[in-house]
Amino acid sequence: MSEMTYRDAINLALKEEMRRDPSVFVLGEDVSLYEGSFKVTRGLLAEFGEERVRDTPISENTIIGVSVGAAMGGLRPVAELMTVNFALLAMDQIINHMAKIRYMFGGQTFLPMTIRMPGGGGSQLGAQHSQSLETYFMHCPGMHILYPATPADAKGLLKSAIRSNDPVIFLEHELLYNCKGEVPDDPDYVIPIGTAEVKRSGDQITIVAYARMTVLALEVAKLLESEGISCEVVDLMSLAPLDTETILTSVRKTGRAVVVDECWSTCGLGAEITSRIYTHCFDILKAPVKRESGLDVPMPYSRHIEKLCIPQVDTIVRAVREVMSGSY
């Protein structure tokens, strides 16, 4: 095991997969000479050359369209978009082509491609660059959606994404890039797509989260331990397919749940998870399920106001206390 940042774990996964499989190549805006907007592609050009690390025009629909064609032709492209917000410019390619081609060709072709995109709020980047759009992609069948919370998970999930014969959207929270953690050295370390993980065991209440919200949930669980509240933290990791059974097993154990997500509350992921909990665990719940989500507003630039729009440690703590006391 080696300690490294979330950024370096993703970089290592890319290098290992490019060394393992010559059909893997990286493309995107400024991924070669500049080494990526967040320096995730650092060192790739020097090791693999411009044939496999390719800068593209500032055209997201072109980046994804080229990737779709390359994947159909037998390559394994890993496309980087500077931010998930720019994926809106490529939604036709993502939704109508990438996600549907295998179905519309009757399974005669595969689409082994990965789209890497930083996302999330909290960086004072304004309303057009601080969005959490994961539910946009989850709503469309035909692709996997992954959103890791730790460096180890980032490495293991990205390697699985690149090896998959299905298209994968791989989201990376911008505020996690500098977070450090232990990462397995094994070049064949992978995490199966479609699995959630209990990151912390507890027996009184379940906190369901993903990406940066998992990091906050773990802080909350540690804080509340001193109050005698035992929190179990379930990290989704994979948003599509969603590992419902791991969530339900935890809720059946604790009898209470708080669902935390950063995306907008209306039609957000928290609503879907809450619905599944009520459908399968209604009779054993000791209290109503509480959602702690982003506010339904454009993200403000002001740091202080921005924090009010995204779940924070103190708001998650309050949500857990309310469920435990039955006071909401």
Shared domain check, 6 and 149? yes
Spot the catalytic one: 97, 129, 144, 173. Answer: 129
Could you tell me how many residues make up the chain?
328
Same domain as 95, residue 20 = yes
In a domain, 278, yes or no: yes
Say if 189 falls within a structural domain. Answer: no
Query: Looking at the domain assignment, is residue 328 inside a domain?
Result: no
pLDDT of 58 over the 80 cut: yes
The pLDDT score that the predictor gives to residue 235 is 98
CATH of the domain at 89: 3.40.50.970
Q: Give a yes or no: residue 202 inside a domain.
A: yes
Does the pLDDT at position 327 exceed 90?
Answer: no
Of 60, 134, 172, 306, which residue is the catalytic one? 60
- Tens of pLDDT, residue by residue over 7-26, are 999 999 999 999 999 999 99
Using alpha carbons, select from 79, 78, 88, 99 the residue that is nearest to residue 144: 99
User: What is the pTM assigned to this prediction?
Assistant: 0.96
Residues 166 and 206 grouped into a single domain: no
Task: Tell me if 125 is assigned to some domain.
Answer: yes
Domain stop point among 118, 149, 183: 183
3-state secondary structure of 160: helix
User: What is the pLDDT of the chain when averaged over all its residues?
Assistant: 96
How far apart (Å, rounded) are the C-alpha atoms in residues 66 and 62? 6
Say whether pLDDT at 328 is over 70: no
Residue 245: CATH number of its domain: 3.40.50.920
Closest CA to 170 of 4, 17, 2: 17
Tell whether 201 and 253 lie within a shared domain.
yes
Q: How does residue 326 score in pLDDT terms, banded at 50, 70 and 90?
A: confident
Looking at the fold, whether 59 and 100 belong to one and the same domain comes out as yes
User: Could you tell me the residue range of the domain that residue 10 belongs to?
Assistant: 2-183
Q: Are residues 230 and 87 part of one domain? A: no
323, 325, 255: which is closest to 292 by C-alpha?
Answer: 323
The pair of three-digit structure tokens given for residue 166, joined into one six-digit string: 């299905």
SS3 277: helix
Residue 38 DSSP symbol: T
Q: Among this protein's residues, is 232 annotated catalytic?
A: no
| % pLDDT > 90, the chain | 97
In a domain? residue 301: yes
HEC letters along 170-224:
EEEEHHHCCCEEEECCCCCCCCCCCCCEEEECCCCEEEEECCHHHHHHHHHHHHH
Task: Indicate whether 53 pLDDT > 70.
Answer: yes
How do residues 242-291 score in pLDDT, each as one tens digit?
A: 999 999 999 999 999 999 999 999 999 999 999 999 999 999 999 999 99
Rounded to an integer, what distance in angstroms lies between the CA atom of residue 22 and that of residue 292? 44
Residue 213 resides in a domain: yes
Domain count, the chain: 2
Structural domain contains residue 192: no
Please give the average per-residue pLDDT across 113-138, as a whole number: 94
Q: Per-residue pLDDT averaged across 111-123, rounded?
A: 95
Looking at the fold, whether 243 and 318 belong to one and the same domain comes out as yes
Query: Are 7 and 154 members of one domain?
Result: yes
Same domain, 116 and 6: yes
3: annotated active-site residue: no
- Residues 246 and 215: their CA atoms lie apart, in Å, by 18
pLDDT tens-digit series, residues 168-214: 999 999 999 999 999 999 999 999 999 999 999 999 999 999 999 99
